[in-house]
Structure 1
Amino acid sequence: MTVRAGSARQVFALAVPALGVLAAEPLYVLVDTAVVGHLGALPLAGLALGGLLFSQVSSALTFLSYGTTSRTARLHGAGRRGDAVEEGVQATWLAVGVGLAVLVLGQLLATPVAQLLAGKGPVADAGVSWLRIALFGAPMVLITMAGNGWMRGVQDTKRPLVYVLLGNGLSAVLNPILVHVVGWGLEGSAVANVFAQTVAAALFVYALVKEKVPLKPVPRLIRAQLGLGRDLVIRTLAFQLSFISALSVASRTSTDAVGAHQIVLQLWNFLALVLDSLAIAAQSLVGAALGAGRDDEAKSLAWQVTRYGLVFGIALSVVFAVLYDILPRLFTSAPGVLAEIPHAWWLFVLLQPIAGVVFALDGVLLGAGDAAFLRTATVVSALLGFVPLVWLSLAFHWGLLGIWVGLSTFMVLRLFAVVLRTRSGRWAVTGV
């Protein structure tokens, strides 16, 4: 039976494997948090600081996945698979170059940046110790992003799932051994991270070689990818400014507050990517539909995915409300950290339906290549909502509650922006 493009079957055929890929990394981070959390509050705070810095560097370069998917999907929709895969080759070359630059600069800047955020002291020292090792995985993370990007664009989300699960699964076994059995402590978790990233990156490179397309770099295509990447990088910098401000304020509140923020934030990141699996399917299908000239199909798909996102967001709210007394204790036994968690938990729960809609429509607009609008909407929402409220919470001693009120305001502003843009239809531009 022929499956209509954009049908529920096709959306979920792409979304379910994408969910596995998206959830694998934050799920591994949750395992990492639980393993390190039982070392005590200080190692957990060091992981929070080092992990945030590493994730901010890698997330600034998500155009290697999202931008590549957008360009590849349009070519795939137009029936040009070879050209679509070649976008993946160029994205991989770009990932190698940028990843090596990140490694070198990160080693030079790790200490001053950590001390800028957390102040001089044991939290900054622990974060730097973890980060210096983890940075060796930066080129591997970026290669994996590029691989996910081109495979999503050609509507293959199953192989990336196998690659990422294999790397992270092996590393999840290695992590507690290095941290607790071998006795490397916090640094052992960083070594396990690099192992996982290397395995996944090698598999994505192997997949490109098997496609039998030219593997040499093409400067013209790399420049085109950088052009689209500019808006996505600026958008990501707005996220970074917001979440780095939040961690900085939490660090200046107390060690217990930053530990609690780390736990709830990692759960937030995990659920954000769970919801984003629908956005990945939308991105691939919307890009293909517009590349084939079917703008009506793209518009219909946008609202279809939005409904799915809302339903999933409501379901997640219910599940995590029920788990309130159970889940935090899996990550830490420190009484002070557990006492801080309720200040963020209930806002985290209430935000899930909003996040479901926002992430779904982000995927639609990214699939259409509407990166300039998403850049502006994110920057404005951050500067009007998240950032000022976070720093006001420091000035007025609102603590963790103030930080999460800032995040809530940020999400509501983004909700209004993406819904209005989607309703306008101006994003549905056809052609390659």
Structure 2
Amino acid sequence: MSRTHDREILRLAVPAFLALAAEPLFLLADAAIVGHLGTAPLAGLGIAAAVLQTAVGLCVFLAYGTTASVARYLGAGDTRGALTQGIDGIWLAVLIGGVTTVLGVAVTTPLVELFGASAAVEEQAVAYLRIAFLGTTPLLVMLATTGVLRGLQDTRTPLAVAVLGNAVNVALNLLLVYGAGLGIAGSAWGSVLAQVLSAGVLSAVVVRAARREGASLRPDRAGIRAAAHAGVPLVIRTLTLRAALLVTTYAVTLGALTDTDQAADLAAHQLALTLWTFLAFVLDAVAIAAQAITGRYLGAGDVAGTRAVTDRMVQWGLWSGMVTGALLALASPVLGPLFTSDPAVHDRLAGVLLVAAAGQPIAGIVFVLDGVLIGAGDGRSLALAQTVVLVVYTPAAFLAVALGGGLLGVWIAFSGVFMGARWVVLTRRARSEAWLVTGTPTAA
């Protein structure tokens, strides 16, 4: 049976792994290209990325919740119902994206000022973020359409689109930043245009499938409201996760003694967080498989199969974390020069990456269990658990600063306290029976 589960996990996880690994390359490409403009632009990108990822990350339920609900309908044998759920999710993405874009552009400067960075860093952050907010709607549509396809057990199409979008992003960034001389603003425009292209391609694939199954493409108010209501617990769960990352960035800012130290710390933190996010997406490949498989098994009423495949996926998460941790530790001395020529950033980055590497095995388990519970539609317990984790982690991060730990101390708190607390709460929930609810989303 384990071999059957392995084949099922690999069939979904391998394309998801490649697609998820490609997604952070949007930021890695931006970091590499912007980093060579100077330390202030790179530090500004760090602040802008933290804000933008928070705004978009709050809407990750458009992918996760849609994957779970579509997979449940698929497991119950109702493909048309699955696609109807998916279309409602896409319309919800358009509505949320429009509102977020308008609000984001209007409050860009106050958001950046909250971080208390120097004037030079703030100027670069505002220049990038105001343009980047224009890509919010296509980003959210990408999330929703990707969720539909994953729920249909198709992770190959999102992979192909991710590769295409990333290639276009790199080409446009190089052209606009250096060729057109637009600086950090060119990087933002390149990413926005690549996101529009990716969203268009994914939408076309889902629309074609919906027409084939006879699912309506019109916005359904009841369906959109239901999708929004189901997403609330996942929004709270994601809000607490994003808040923890913002707390981490703010703690790094407070820990610096001078503007020069602050710029170097923020630049190193941005690179470390981007690399950590890259590895998180890599580890999340099994979690994506977990969402789709768990939803399908519970939709079909197979509790025993759900338990068995969950145990196997946890093993995969642990092994994956051990591999990524070892690779990150080995590469830590040489990664800095790839992104910036500042030796101060190099010195800070190497130590932080070793700390991040040590936490990878726990991260692998955490991401898998998170995916299992999302696939089960267990959003309420996830929201409560992550709120508890945030309450525990926040004072630990500021205590690290107060004790003079600086950038390295904050990252020790992040890897040890934040990820450790998540491991505890998710493991306890997964061992219970409360999340093993069968049937379609309405019945569940």
Between stretches 150-159 and 207-216, larger displacement belongs to 207-216
Q: 1:333 is matched with which residue: 337, 341, 356?
A: 341
Structure 1 residue 52 corresponds to structure 2 residue 58: no
- TM-superposed CA distance for 1:33, in Å, is 0.5
1:21 to 19, 30, 34: 19
Moved more, 136-145 or 202-211: 202-211
Cα distance 1:107–1:11, how it changes in 2: closer, same or farther (>3 A)?
same
Instruction: Give the share of equivalent positions with the same residue, in percent.
Output: 39
Distance 1:286 1:249 in 2: 37
Give the alignment of 1:78-93 within 5 angstroms. 78-93=76-91
Q: Is the aligned partner of 1:226 residue 2:235?
A: no
Rounded to whole Å, the distance in 2 between the matches of 1:247 and 1:421 is 29
* Deviations 1:368-413, CA, capped at 9 Å, x for gaps: 011111111111111112x112222333332112211221211101
Q: Which residue is 1:401 aligned to?
A: 408
| Distance of 1:37 and 1:353 partners within structure 2 | 30
Partner deviation per Cα, 1:157-194 (whole Å, 9 max, x = no partner): 11111122212211112212211222111111101110
Shift of the alpha carbon at 1:293?
0.5
**Aligned-partner residue type, residue 370 of structure 2:** D
SS at 2:107 equivalent: helix
Structure 1 residue 118, shift from structure 2 partner? 2.7
Deviation at 1:119, TM superposition (A): 4.2
Aligned to 1:76: 74
Q: Is the 8 A contact 2:104 2:130 kept in 1?
A: yes
CA contact (8 A) 1:102 1:138 kept: yes
Q: Give, in whole Å, the separation in 2 of the partners of 1:209 and 1:315.
A: 38
Counterpart of 1:63 (choices 46, 56, 61) is 61
Name the amino acid aligned to 1:371. G
Runs ≥4 in structure 1, deviation > 6 angstroms? none
3-state SS of paired residue (2:59): coil
Match of 2:259 in 1: none
For 2:337 and 2:389, locate their aligned partners in 1 and report how far apart those are by CA, in whole Å.
33
Conserved in 2, the CA contact under 8 Å of 1:167 and 1:195?
no
**Counterpart contact for 2:333–2:350, Cα < 8 Å:** no
Q: 1:419, 1:129 → 2: CA distance?
A: 42
Asked if the contact 1:72/1:85 (under 8 Å) is kept, the reply is yes
Alignment equivalent of 1:193, drawn from 191, 194, 206: 191
What amino acid does structure 1 have at the position aligned with 2:344? G
The answer for the alignment partner of 2:397 in structure 1 is 390
Q: 1:275 maps to which residue?
A: 283
Within 5 Å, which residues of 2 pair with 1:257-296?
257-296=265-304
Equivalent residue for 1:348, pick from 348, 356, 364: 356
* Partner amino acid, structure 2, of 1:83: G
Q: Which of 365, 371, 387 is 1:363 aligned to? A: 371
| Structure 2 counterpart SS, 1:424 | coil
Alpha-carbon distance in structure 2 between the residues aligned to 1:25 and 1:312 = 18
The within-5 A match list for 1:96-245 is 96-119=94-117, 121-211=119-209, 212=211, 213-245=215-247
Structure 2 Cα separation of the partners of residues 188 and 93 of structure 1: 30
TM-score by length of 2: 0.94
Contact 1:6 1:301 in 2 (8 A): no
Separation of aligned partners in 2, 1:29 and 1:197:
12
CA distance in 2, matches of 1:210, 1:4: 35
Does the residue aligned with 1:226 lie in a helix, a strand or coil? helix
Give, in whole Å, the separation in 2 of the partners of 1:5 and 1:156: 20
Please state how far the C-alpha of 1:4 moved relative to its aligned partner: 9.3
1:326 alignment partner, SS class: helix
Cα deviation, 1:326-362, whole Å, max 9, x if unaligned, reads: 1221111101111211342221010110000000111
Give the drift of 1:418. 1.1
- Cα distance in 2 for partners of 1:133, 1:257 equals 25
Q: Which position in structure 1 is the counterpart of 2:380?
A: 372
Aligned mate of 2:332, from 324, 330, 342: 324
Measured after TM superposition, the shift of residue 5 of structure 1 is 10
Farther off after superposition, 297-306 or 216-225: 216-225
From 431, 435, 442, the equivalent of 1:427 is 435
Q: Any gaps of 5 or more consecutive residues in structure 2?
A: 257-261
What is aligned with 1:9? 7
Q: Which deviates more, 145-154 or 415-424?
A: 415-424
Aligned to 2:250: 248
| Range that drifts further, 69-78 or 201-210 | 201-210
State the AA in 2 paired with 1:7: H
Distance in 1 separating the partners of 2:263 and 2:172: 28
Letter in 2 for 1:59: G
What's the TM-score, normalizing by structure 1? 0.96
Aligned residues of 2:2 and 2:312 also touching (Cα < 8 A): no
Q: Is the 8 A contact 1:107 1:135 kept in 2?
A: yes
> What's the offset of the Cα at 1:197?
0.4
| Amino acid paired to 2:306 | A
Distance 1:340 1:67 in 2: 38
The residue identity in structure 1 corresponding to 2:228 is: L
Is the contact between residue 176 and residue 187 of structure 2 (CA under 8 Å) also seen in structure 1? yes
| Deviation larger for 319-328 or 58-67 | 319-328
- The answer to whether the 8 A contact 1:299-1:425 is kept is no
Specify whether residues 325 and 119 from structure 1 end up closer, same or farther in structure 2 by C-alpha distance, changes over 3 A only: closer
Q: Distance in 1 between matches of 2:85 and 2:115?
A: 37
User: Distance in 2 between the 1:291 and 1:119 partners?
Assistant: 49
Q: Gaps spanning 5+ residues in structure 1: where?
A: none
The amino acid across from 1:390 in the alignment is A
RMSD: 1.5
1:120 deviation in Å?
5.9
Query: Letter of the aligned partner of 2:246 in structure 1?
Result: I
Q: Report the residue type matching 1:411 in the other structure.
A: M
